[in-house]
Amino acid sequence: MPAVGPAADAESRERDFTRDASHELRTPLTVIRVASDLIAHDDGLSNASRRSLGRIQDAVAGMEAIIDALLLLARCEQTVMELEEVRVREVVEHELERVLPLLRYKGLELRLEIEAEPVLHAPPRVLQVMLGNLLGNAVRFTDAGEVRVCLQADRLCVEDTGIGMDAATLARAFEPFYRGEGEQVAGPGLGLSIAHRLGQRCGWPLRLESAPGRGTQATILFG
């Protein structure tokens, strides 16, 4: 039986807002993408300008992926999801390429372990958004050491040697806008919440293990 009452009303308003906001963002992003594609055909661009343009195009592609993921969350759970073949290794390599400049800037090592190459049937871009959020957190909260990514047949793990979380923070890590005590890093505090909800929607549980000063391991389990 569908949920009723204030909680159901709040959930419905949240879905409506997410859907409407995502649609509104599509138009300016499309303008940026088309304009950047036109600029890319200018043979007079310097190498530095072309690198900057590439970062703009990557950012637009990332935002479009997030919008697609938010629209998926805004749809009713009874709505049939559009599925496509997702080669997980390709998603991993793409997202690692995006985060590599920041890893190098912070002097962090990257360790990639490929033990299997699973192929999933899933909504487009969902895994990209989930992994992008996990990698972003791993780099953001790690100042020394490494980020390790391990792909297995039934799971994808992202592990860091960063600041970690205490039990109280870990228990609330999936709450929207929640920040651990003393956390100073900028950002809306939505990444883990979105990744968790996307995992629930697709049947991919997201698990966290962490301890202060010992880093964090995030695992996406493929259902």
The last residue of a domain, from among 30, 54, 74? 74
What global pTM score does this model have? Answer: 0.74
Residue 123, domain CATH = 3.30.565.10
The last residue of a domain, from among 30, 55, 74? 74
Are residues 127 and 174 located together in one domain of the fold?
yes
Lowest-confidence range among 21-30, 123-132, 134-143, 202-211?
Answer: 21-30
Are residues 58 and 90 located together in one domain of the fold?
no
In a domain, 10, yes or no: yes
In a domain, 1, yes or no: no
Are residues 102 and 179 located together in one domain of the fold?
yes
Are residues 100 and 33 located together in one domain of the fold?
no
- pLDDT tens profile 57-70: 878 777 777 777 77
Are residues 142 and 213 located together in one domain of the fold?
yes
Task: Quickly list DSSP for the chain.
Answer: ----SHHHHHHHHHHHHHHHHHHHHHHHHHHHHHHHHHHHT-TT--HHHHHHHHHHHHHHHHHHHHHHHHHHHHS-TTSPPP-EEEEHHHHHHHHHHHHHHHHHHHT-EEEEEES---EEEE-TTHHHHHHHHHHHHHHHT-SSSEEEEEE-SSEEEEEE-S----HHHHHTTTSTT---TT----S-S-HHHHHHHHHHHHT--EEEEE-TTS-EEEEEEP-
- Counting the structural domains of the chain, the total is 2
- pLDDT tens profile 197-214: 889 988 999 999 999 999
